Amino acid sequence: MKGFLASAVSGLALAGFVSGQACQTTTLTSSVPTNSSTKLALASYSYCGGTLNATAYIANVDYNKVVSLYYTNAQGQSTPLSVVNLGYSSGIGNGSWELWSTSTPIYIDGITKLLNLTYQATDVGKTYVQTLNLPVNATGGPAPTLPSPPAPYATPKGFGSDITSWLSVNIGSESETAFQRMFLNINPAIPGAAEGVVVAARSGPSYIQTNPDYEYNWVRDASLTMDVVQSLYSAATKAKAKTAYQNILFEYAAARATEQNDPGLQTGLGEPKFYLNNTIFTGPWGRPQNDGPATSAITLMEFATSYLANGGSIDTVKQKIYDSATFPASAPVMKDLLFVASNWSSPSFDLWEEEESDHFYTRMVQRRALVLGAAFATKMGDSATSATLSTAATALSATLAQFWDPNREILLYEYGPVLNGKSSYLDTAVVLGVIHGYAGDGVYSYTNDQVLLTALRLATSFIDVYAIANTTTDSAGLTLGIPIGRYPEDVYNGTGTQTNGGNPWYLCTAALAQLFYSVSTEYADAGSISLTNISKPFFDYFAPAAGLQVGQTYTYGSRKYNQAIGGLNGWGDAFLRTVKHYTPADGYLSEEYNRNTGVPQGAGDLTWSYASVLTAAFARAEVRGQKGYVRGLADLGVVGNTVA
């Protein structure tokens, strides 16, 4: 490595750069261990310019291996973040040994000492450890520092009439299209599909999708879709439409109970995925995903609450929704809630089905399920379950503070080591966690300053990643919001993985819009905006004209308040305008739009894409005080699930 040549530069220029020198690699061994009881050995490491590199020899004792290098951070502490996982790099000789390695930017946490190398051979249930206790010196150029958010490229203000008409209740609008297309995927007209299931996606006139194959009923996707049906049910005033939604929701409850009782569950109620006949998918997969039982219970409790308010009987709710102890074949909610209460602290796979860890998204939806569940169980006369859920909610809530990282100035999407190269720790899952998981009790609400700063850092992270972010206006000259994907390091392109292959997703871009509308509503309800040093950068970017200051409170209706809210509403619409801009003329939504061309990509007719546009539209209507909006859409009624 050439690196930074200290000797060639004057001492003056280098003042303060104690680490200004060439990269130094420390080599511990250059051959595989010969001692037959040794199964691992750190070969070499360096910490140069803020990046930790390491290579290790790993004995090939089984197929599934987890190799972790533990260290202490700049403060000399060992935390769940001060670990890097090594990845397979090559086989050695006859394959009895392998070389594993990592190159991970860890400068934000810093490093003082390598503690140990741990190798879990998970198939054979063995763990091997090499104790290290090696002090680490930084070499190379100075480590980068946390970048400040950029200056805004636009200052959109207020709602756009283009978005208002795009989301109107009229036939042929995007809202109406999303509504109809979503219902085609609920109880889909596919031979063998069970009642109450939701197909995750389809493409073209046939439901058959092979690339990618999304012809399954995912627990999470189904619950989020049914949550939209639940909103339509609550708002509908036309009897025929209301009854249709009610029937679908009861079928969904029964389908969830069927899933819970499937004899083939491998990881309990966290099983993520079922065939359309609603029997378990048993192939290799990222399981468990413990958000599903929570989001399903939330949707069904909300439905039951509306159903009761609408004159429904409490006995029907117990029999078909809540009381799994007495009606295990038909009522899923109590069982899902008790599963959440006993399993929330176990790591599980995230909503993108990629990483097993402790996830902010999963904790947030679990928390909401427990908080709503405790109140709902009381309503069902079940004080024992209520107490169990309350206790779990309190314990879970106490863990949420760990997700705030003062060094990165974000809410981490997961509390654990860098996985899959996601060293930014940014993920739209955090925004979705607030949207799907806010329990309405002030804990990590939309306007929480940590949530706002995370949304800013997340959104701006995509500007340098997607070429289409450089298209900042549509043909009418109106501002396009930043295209939003899952996370900046994403390599999934909708069918496979590719270097720089990750794309913006419709549902992620719509999620930012929805967050902004909900932020606006929450400030209106509170009657004022107050800034902290954490939330200030958010307002500086999204509402610079207001010039809001830390420590000040801006009252509802004041000039600066209106300027700030105008900025937030303008950006909410700008994000939806990006969705609109990259939506094809027929209004159908795939999973993704290409990062370079904006052309739709990945699964066609993704049900969750439709649900996300509808929930964003509902949040927009709420902040605009359009009380009849959801009702107008709901009263259109389900045309039917014939294949178009």
Ligand X SMILES: *[C@@H]1O[C@H](CO)[C@@H](O)[C@H](O)[C@H]1NC(C)=O
Query: Considering the complex, what minimum distance in angstroms separates the CB of residue 529 from ligand X?
Result: 18
Find the part of the chain contacting ligand X (CB under 6 A) among 46-54, 163-171, 197-205, 230-238. 46-54
Structure tokens belonging to residue 442: 């002030």
| Residues facing residue 27 across a β-bridge | 44
Q: How far is residue 425's CA from residue 461's CA, in Å, rounded to a whole number?
A: 11
Residue with tokens 């190379």: 140
C-alpha closest to that of 529 among 547, 553, 562, 545:
553
121 in Cβ contact with 61 (< 8 Å): yes
Q: Is residue 628 left, alpha or beta, with left meaning phi > 0 and alpha meaning psi from -120 to 50?
A: alpha
Q: Output 28 or 308, the one with its CB closest to ligand X.
A: 28
Any contact of residue 534 with ligand X (CB under 6 A)?
yes
Find the part of the chain contacting ligand X (CB under 6 A) among 361-369, 441-449, 489-497, 616-624. 489-497
Other C-beta atoms lying within 10 Å of the C-beta of residue 454:
29
Q: Output 1 or 9, the one with its CB closest to ligand X.
A: 1
User: Taking the CA of residue 322 as centre, how many other CA atoms within 13 Å lie in the half-sphere pointing to its CB?
Assistant: 26
Q: Output 26 or 155, the one with its CB closest to ligand X.
A: 26
| Residues facing residue 432 across a β-bridge | none
Q: How far is residue 611's CA from residue 385's CA, in Å, rounded to a whole number?
A: 31
Other C-beta atoms lying within 10 Å of the C-beta of residue 477:
6
Find the part of the chain contacting ligand X (CB under 6 A) among 420-428, 464-472, 573-581, 623-631. 464-472
Query: Considering the complex, what minimum distance in angstroms separates the CB of residue 250 from ligand X?
Result: 22
Find the part of the chain contacting ligand X (CB under 6 A) among 216-224, 432-440, 460-468, 520-528. 460-468
Query: Considering the complex, what minimum distance in angstroms separates the CB of residue 182 from ligand X?
Result: 23
Any contact of residue 133 with ligand X (CB under 6 A)?
no
Q: Output 338 or 621, the one with its CB closest to ligand X.
A: 338
Residue 398 φ then ψ, to 5°: -65, -15
Query: Considering the complex, what minimum distance in angstroms separates the CB of residue 144 from ligand X?
Result: 15
Q: How far is residue 594's CA from residue 183's CA, in Å, rounded to a whole number?
A: 26
- What is the contact mask toward ligand X in residues 374 to 413, using x (rule: CB under 6 A)? -----------------------------------x----
Query: Considering the complex, what minimum distance in angstroms separates the CB of residue 131 from ligand X?
Result: 7
Any contact of residue 601 with ligand X (CB under 6 A)?
yes
65 in Cβ contact with 40 (< 8 Å): no
Q: How far is residue 190's CA from residue 207's CA, in Å, rounded to a whole number?
A: 7
Q: How far is residue 441's CA from residue 132's CA, in Å, rounded to a whole number?
A: 46
Find the part of the chain contacting ligand X (CB under 6 A) among 32-40, 349-357, 392-400, 416-424. 32-40
Q: How far is residue 576's CA from residue 617's CA, in Å, rounded to a whole number?
A: 9
Query: Considering the complex, what minimum distance in angstroms separates the CB of residue 488 from ligand X?
Result: 11
**Set 350, 382, 414, 427: catalytic member:** 350
Find the part of the chain contacting ligand X (CB under 6 A) among 9-17, 92-100, 359-367, 386-394. 92-100
Any contact of residue 78 with ligand X (CB under 6 A)?
yes
C-alpha closest to that of 225 among 254, 183, 192:
183
Q: Residues binding ligand X: what is the number (CB under 6 A)? A: 47
Q: How far is residue 618's CA from residue 620's CA, in Å, rounded to a whole number?
A: 5
Q: What amino acid is encoded at 500 in this protein? A: N
Among 89, 103, 120, 402, the residue binding ligand X under the rule CB under 6 A is: 103
Any contact of residue 31 with ligand X (CB under 6 A)?
no
225 in Cβ contact with 611 (< 8 Å): yes
- What is the contact mask toward ligand X in residues 284 to 303, using x (rule: CB under 6 A)? ----x---------------
Q: Is 353 a catalytic residue?
A: yes
| Residues facing residue 600 across a β-bridge | 593
| Residues facing residue 639 across a β-bridge | none
SS3 167: coil
Structure tokens belonging to residue 530: 């107050």
Among 153, 159, 275, 556, the residue binding ligand X under the rule CB under 6 A is: 275
- What is the contact mask toward ligand X in residues 429 to 448, using x (rule: CB under 6 A)? --------------------
Any contact of residue 270 with ligand X (CB under 6 A)?
yes
CA distances from 278 to 193, 207, 272 (A): 7, 16, 12
Structure tokens belonging to residue 183: 């219902």
Among 46, 175, 289, 362, the residue binding ligand X under the rule CB under 6 A is: 46
| Cα first-last separation, the chain | 60
428 in Cβ contact with 484 (< 8 Å): yes
Query: Considering the complex, what minimum distance in angstroms separates the CB of residue 200 from ligand X?
Result: 15
Query: Considering the complex, what minimum distance in angstroms separates the CB of residue 205 from ligand X?
Result: 20
576 in Cβ contact with 588 (< 8 Å): no
Residue 504 φ then ψ, to 5°: -65, 145
Other C-beta atoms lying within 10 Å of the C-beta of residue 114:
23
- What is the contact mask toward ligand X in residues 545 to 584, using x (rule: CB under 6 A)? ----------------------------------------
Any contact of residue 99 with ligand X (CB under 6 A)?
no
Q: Output 155 or 279, the one with its CB closest to ligand X.
A: 279
Query: Considering the complex, what minimum distance in angstroms separates the CB of residue 513 from ligand X?
Result: 21
Q: How far is residue 485's CA from residue 500's CA, in Å, rounded to a whole number?
A: 12
Any contact of residue 590 with ligand X (CB under 6 A)?
no
Query: Considering the complex, what minimum distance in angstroms separates the CB of residue 507 from ligand X?
Result: 19
**Set 353, 449, 522, 635: catalytic member:** 353
Residue ranges with strand state E in 221-330: 273-274
The alpha carbon of 543 is separated from its chain's Cα centroid by a whole number of angstroms, namely 25
Return the residues of window 168-207 that contact ligand X according to CB under 6 A.
Answer: none
Q: What is the DSSP letter of 320?
A: I
Other C-beta atoms lying within 10 Å of the C-beta of residue 302:
19
Q: Is 98 a catalytic residue?
A: no
- What is the contact mask toward ligand X in residues 318 to 347, using x (rule: CB under 6 A)? ------------------------xx--x-
Among 105, 149, 268, 544, the residue binding ligand X under the rule CB under 6 A is: 268
Q: Output 105 or 312, the one with its CB closest to ligand X.
A: 105
Find the part of the chain contacting ligand X (CB under 6 A) among 195-203, 374-382, 482-490, 492-500. 492-500
Q: Is 448 exposed, middle or buried (0-12, 13-18, 19+ CB in 10 A)?
A: buried
Which residues would be at the binding site for ligand X (CB under 6 A)? 1, 23, 25-26, 32, 35, 37-38, 46, 48, 53, 70, 78, 93-94, 96, 103, 115-116, 118, 129, 137, 267-268, 270, 275, 277, 279, 288, 342-343, 346, 409, 464, 466-467, 469-470, 493, 495-498, 501, 533-534, 601
User: Mind telling me the catalytic residues?
Assistant: 350, 353
